Amino acid sequence: MRRITLLGSTGSIGDSTLDVIGRHPERFSVYALAAHRNWRKLAEQCERFRPQLAVVGSPDAAEALRAHLRAAGLPTEVSWGPAALDEVAAADGCDTVVAAIVGAAGLSSALAAARAGKRILLANKEALVMSGALFIATVQRSGAVLLPLDSEHNAIFQCLPEGRADGRGVERLILTASGGPFRTRALETLADVTPDEACAHPNWSMGRKISVDSATMMNKGLEVIEAHWLFGLPRERIDVLLHPQSVIHSMVSYSDGSVLAQLGNPDMRTPIAHALAYPDRVGAGVAPLDLAAVAQLNFERADLARFPCLRLAFEALSAGGSASTVLNAANEVAVQAFLEGRLRFTAIAEVVESTMARARIVELAGLDDVLASDHEARRLANEALAAGALQAG
């Protein structure tokens, strides 16, 4: 039986992961759950899955959760803060860590799991975007096993022999993207996009930050960077193809002319179930794909003029060093400002581009370098926001 630590249990990936785990109590048990603010939902999860440990983001949330669990008669131990998160990710009681904390906040705990040699199911793409070389080197040194949870990377993993691209005749990786809610919207109207419109993804149910990233295609750009580190191919051999139906989740092109694709309904429980049970297969609760009902599959090349964030991600990958760290930090600042109504939609890319132009691009020797670069980029992005020229309205 696999003993699972789930970091980010109250988000959409956490919900889907617990749904799959709950379908197979004979195969999976929950060792620890971690969330940031939503202690009430975490308490409900603890009552159902009875983990040994629970971690929250603040002492107030910890005290409230502890009191609730005590009243419910549950022995779950409660701790709080980043150090506790790192400790639970590396704890001896679990063999598998699902890293599903969104953004830079999930980097340290994912690295802790890697150092401890865990089986890591990675949904936090920022761990590789911010510190790809460092993260992969840590995995290799410790003997950790890295399995991707993003639907696109999981699809590529399934299309590769033993999940590896090296020496396998692989020509190209082809990441598919729905194009989000604004694939065909008139360009001159994009400045008026509201947060609710940006979060209304046509195919996937996701959190608000990742939904905005999907609308700008920054999410796909981050996935290109992630694919480079996961599978070891250069930027020139990683393509993005728009596929509005979100049925083909990604493809691998081989030197003999073959193209292998992984297909399925757009439901994150499929890649989660694959990674949880790998190399076995288990039911995910997802309806079988009915290709006759889908009827047709369409593809388009990505328009970098419509999606400048995708262009910026390609540029960051080509630049190397801390460029991807800067890209990610500036984007987090800009998306938060947009969601709070302080920045227009089209200015998200402008903030990121301005920050990338001003930030120092350096080599990253360790976590301290990553965090310093992230800090500088956030300062520069906030300076761009404070200038006022990019604000909403």
Which residues are annotated as part of the binding site for Mn(2+)? 150, 152, 223
Where does residue 365 rank: exposed (0-12), middle (13-18), buried (19+ CB within 10 A)? exposed
- C-beta of residue 253 within 8 angstroms of C-beta of residue 237: no
Q: What is the 3-state secondary structure (H, E, C) of the chain?
A: CEEEEEECCCCHHHHHHHHHHHHCCCCEEEEEEECCCCHHHHHHHHHHHCCCEEEECCHHHHHHHHHHHHHCCCCCEEEECHHHHHHHHCCCCCCEEEECCCCHHHHHHHHHHHHCCCEEEECCCHHHHHHHHHHHHHHHHHCCEEEECCHHHHHHHHHCHHHCCCCCCEEEEEEEECCHHHCCCCHHHHHHCCHHHHCCCCCCCCCHHHHHHHHHCHHHHHHHHHHHHHHCCCHHHEEEEECCCCCEEEEEEECCCCEEEEECCCCCHHHHHHHHHCCCCCCCCCCCCCHHHHCCCCCEECCCCCCHHHHHHHHHHHHCCCHHHHHHHHHHHHHHHHHCCCECCCHHHHHHHHHHHHCCCCCCCCHHHHHHHHHHHHHHHHHHHHCCCCECC
- C-beta of residue 181 within 8 angstroms of C-beta of residue 215: yes
**Residue ranges at the known binding site for NADPH:** 10-13, 37-38, 124, 126, 207
**Residue ranges at the known binding site for 1-deoxy-D-xylulose 5-phosphate:** 125, 151-152, 178, 201, 214, 219-220, 223
For residues 70 and 64, give the distance between their C-alpha atoms in angstroms, rounded to a whole number: 10
CA dihedral of 211, 216, 219, 225, whole degrees rounded to 10: -170
**Residue ranges at the known binding site:** 10-13, 37-38, 124-126, 150-152, 178, 201, 207, 214, 219-220, 223
